[in-house]
Amino acid sequence: MTKGSITKNLISFAIPLFFGQLLQQLYNVVDSVVVGNVLGKEALAAVSTTGSLIFLMVGFIGGLFMGNSVIIGKSYGAKNYDRVSAAAHTGITFAIIMGIVMTVWGYFFTPVLLGWMGTPADVMNNSVTYFKIYFLGGLGNIMYNACCGIFQAMGDSKRPLYYLMVSTILNTILDITFVKFLGFGIGGAALATVIAQFVSAGLAFYRLTRVDGPHRIYLSKLHIDKPILAKELSIGFPTGIQNSVIAIGNVVVQSNINAFGSVAMAGCGSYFKLEGFVFLPITCMSMALTTFVSQNLGAGEVNRVKKGSKIGSLISITCAEIIGVLVFTLSPYLLRIFSGDPEVLAIGATQARTESLFYFLLALSHCLAGTYRGAGKTTVPMIVMLSSWCLLRITYITIIVHFIPVVNVIFWAYPLTWSVSSIIFIIYYFKGKWIKIGIN
């Protein structure tokens, strides 16, 4: 990504990421579609309420591996192939350890976490069942994302897509088989996802042991390089903390939604599933910018970094707003995929039409955050997103809902906080300190 057309590099890298992320979104969406249509709105609410908690766990560990990707990308751009190899082996070893930790922690603390969220009694049993089985696949989830991070840091976003195609098809088949035909209930949906995650992780890891390049993994070389791990954590820890605290904020938001009952939970949950697809072009361009910036800073191409960050942000903003208009118009029909209940559809459509025209702000925040992470400046996105997407969002919801107890109040928290983060990121961009730090 250090040579040739910037626009072509970013788009060609982001497109496979888009389809890969699209397939990943299908994991939980297929669960929701099958569960919502076969088992009803209470079961759909149970799947929906686990989303924030899943991101809390996966988001933290995924943030840690952002540091590994930045190290590999900058080392590859600087042609330091020994460091690429050391970072790749350290990343995989650390992923195995953290995958086991996440599995154990998530499984045993499930009832406590759901209780803190105020999960309604008519949803609790299904939520616990789904969550516990889901986290039995924690190792597969973390390993797949760690392997993908290595591929993407090297500029390869195509191979992860191929593996996801296989696992997503498998997930869909198993979902329908377990829930509809074998009657496994909500646990069957979670089991299908776990199996699919391990398949994708196995395919990605196997390829890393066969690939021709400095990022090839040798089982005999799996170990922790302490200096590299320390550097990885210093870069990735702020992103992990950011993801976790934002997830905690989302848990608080979900708790407020839960207070309005299972219909509100199902309606908002359906919208959030739809929103997951909407955000794909945004997050994929952000990821592309992280790799682009890290490789070009490693190669000393400062002007190329500045130009690339502007081009990537403009592309993402344009796509986000086009999608926003489509969601505003078509949301009542799109949400029918998840549920045909009129009350559920009404709440989901209201949330969609409140937030959709502001997607361009979310795109700008994500792209600038991705740029700063590629430069190794992960503390700034952490502080900005914690203060705006967590603290401000929670404060707004807690105060306003107390005086105006309607679920619509919660929806407006998102455009408000996206606006604040975008303004801060723009100011920091033009100060230019992130470039100087990234070069060092």
- pLDDT (tens digit, 9 = 90+) per residue, 63-78? 778 888 889 988 998 8
Rounded-to-integer distance, Cα 415 and Cα 263, Å: 23
pTM of the model: 0.71
At residue 267, φ and ψ (nearest 5 deg) are -65, -50
CA distances from 253 to 42, 161, 398 (A): 19, 32, 9
Rounded-to-integer distance, Cα 54 and Cα 97, Å: 18
Q: What is the pLDDT of residue 436?
A: 63
Q: Which of 58, 81, 235, 222 is nearest to 134 (CA)?
A: 58
- Res. 438: pLDDT tops 60: no
Q: What is the pLDDT of residue 209?
A: 96
pLDDT, tens digit (0-9, with 9 covering 90-100), for 306-324: 999 999 999 999 999 999 9
At residue 341, φ and ψ (nearest 5 deg) are -70, 125
Residue indicated by tokens 């072509």: 8
CB 435 within 8 A of CB 372: no
Helix and strand totals (H; E) in the chain: 19, 0
Neighbouring CB atoms inside 10 A of 331's CB total: 21
Q: Which of 200, 79, 227, 66 is nearest to 141 (CA)?
A: 200
Rounded-to-integer distance, Cα 35 and Cα 30, Å: 8
**Which 3 state secondary structure label does DSSP give 376?**
coil
- Could you tell me the two tokens for 436? 């100087």
- Res. 32: pLDDT tops 80: no
Rounded-to-integer distance, Cα 26 and Cα 18, Å: 12
27: pLDDT confidence band, cut at 50, 70 and 90? Answer: low
pLDDT, tens digit (0-9, with 9 covering 90-100), for 241-286: 777 766 667 777 877 888 888 788 888 888 887 887 777 888 889 8
Q: What is the mean pLDDT of the chain?
A: 85
